[in-house]
Structures are given as structure tokens and as C-alpha cells.
Structure 1
Amino acid sequence: MNDIRLKRVESLIREKVSFLIFAGNVKDPRVDSTVTLTRIKVAKDLSSARVWVSSFGGEQATQRAVIGLNNAAGFIQSRIGREIHMKKTPKLRFLSDDSIREGFTVSKLIDRAVLDR
């Protein structure tokens, strides 16, 4: 699959999933509007897509959101399938993204090292 097309599909999935979450169409109470999609990786054969999420509510809120989103994955896939006309809609798998938390940890360590000088 062409890398440009993959990036376009990833962008469309990000747009549609973000809209569904923000508009409140995902009815699972574990998923709220503080959920942010941080990264999407679609398989070259378009059979699956991994979606990393984070939440401003912290690590526990992110874990709850991942469970809720995976529970609602079928609904989200069907909505994406209606709006993005493709032969097959990628199977979505939501994962927790710890990179933001790890970035804060590294930043704190750097700040502490600078202050200790």
C-alpha cells in the first residue's frame, strides 16, 4: 500500500474517531471528551488500525477510556465505514499512550538536574 494513501487513511480515521468522541456519539461512560488521539497506525493491507489514546484525566482515566473505546470499537468501525468509502474498514484496536506521561517525567528529571548544579 502506498505510504501517502496510508497517511490519508490514518488522518481520516483520526478525524472521524475524534468527532465521534467529542460529539458524544460514543455512549460508553468511560469515554469522555478529555480523551485525545495521539497516534494512529494503519496496517499496510488496511485490515487493522492501532489507535493510541491519552486523557487529561490521568493514567486511570486513560485506562478506562481504552476499555470503553475497545468496547465501542464495532460501533466506531461501522460509523467510519459509512463515512469513508473503502472496500473494508480497518479493525480498530485502542491502546494507552504513555509517551506524554514519560515526557513529563523526563522533563522533571532534566529540571531537577539543572537545579542541582
Structure 2
Amino acid sequence: MSDLRANRVGEQMKKELGDIISRKIKDPRVGFVTVTDVSVSGDLQQAKVYISVLGDENKTQETLVGLAKAKGFIRSEIGKRIRLRKTPEITFEFDEAIEYGNRIETIINDLNDSSDS
């Protein structure tokens, strides 16, 4: 039962975080960010926010620093938008799944190109 609720809260947070980060965060370090997933613990106390950033590794690190600095503001905005007894503690992490998928796609394309020759 709590897993279902955690998933629902995670999906709601994902939607709200996308809006908050794109419209309310004015930090120049935060670039073009996409919230790819939010994983909320069963007790709704912790939330890991997975993001992807348009740009290189340096831009990704700058964005993570900017989001970490704005964590308190973001958490208070989430608290206003989602009615929970206690707003989860937020941590931001870079989602490496997209990069991993791109690498696999490149390998598959290279294999197909070499088999066609």
C-alpha cells in the first residue's frame, strides 16, 4: 500500500518539480533541466530526483550545485503545492540511464554499419 502511495507522490513531485525548476529558479548555473524520475521512500521522508541536463559534464556539475543551493526553496514550493504532512527531503542526482542508452544505441548502429559493409 505504501509503495503505491510513494509512487503517486513521486509522480506528482515530478510534475511539480519540472514546473518549479523551469519557471521559478533564476540561478544562472541551472541550465536546461529535465526531471526524468523521482524516487520516494516508503515512509515519504526522502525523495531522490533524477535529472538530465543539456550540455557537457561541466554544465551538469554546475546545475547540480545550483539545484543543491536552491533545495530549501524547492522543498518549500513542493510543500505548498502537494498536501503532505511532511515534505520529503530532496536530493538531486544525474540520471545516467539516458547516457547509457545513447551509448548502447551507438554500439548497435556501429555493429549494423559494419555488418552492411
Partner of 1:54: 52
Segments of 4+ in structure 1 off by > 3 A?
A: none
Judge conservation of contact 2:34–2:52 (CA < 8 Å) in 1: yes
Counterpart of 2:36 in structure 1: which amino acid?
T
Counterpart of 1:43 (choices 41, 44, 52) is: 41
Mapped pair 1:102 → 2:100: yes
Counterpart of 1:42 in structure 2: which amino acid?
V
Q: Which runs of 5+ in 1 are unaligned?
A: none
Instruction: Give a deviation string over 1:31-62, Cα, whole Å, max 9, x none.
Output: 13x20011110011111100010012233322
Counterpart of 1:77 in structure 2: which amino acid?
R
Aligned residue for 1:93, secondary structure, equals: strand
Q: CA RMSD in A?
A: 1.3
Mapped pair 1:18 → 2:18: yes
For 1:108 and 1:59, the matched residues in 2 are separated by: 19
Q: What TM-score, normalized to structure 2?
A: 0.90
Q: Percent identity?
A: 37
Aligned residue for 2:39, secondary structure, equals: strand
Partner of 1:80: 78
For 2:83 and 2:100, the matched residues in 1 are separated by: 37
Report the Cα offset of residue 114 of structure 1: 1.2
Q: Which runs of 5+ in 2 are unaligned?
A: none
Judge conservation of contact 1:53–1:62 (CA < 8 Å) in 2: no
Counterpart of 1:62 in structure 2: which amino acid?
T
Partner of 2:91: 93
Q: What TM-score, normalized to structure 1?
A: 0.90
Counterpart of 2:26 in structure 1: which amino acid?
K
Instruction: Give a deviation string over 1:56-103, Cα, whole Å, max 9, x none.
Output: 223332222111111111110011111211110000000011111111
Aligned residue for 2:74, secondary structure, equals: helix
Counterpart of 2:56 in structure 1: which amino acid?
G
Judge conservation of contact 2:2–2:43 (CA < 8 Å) in 1: no
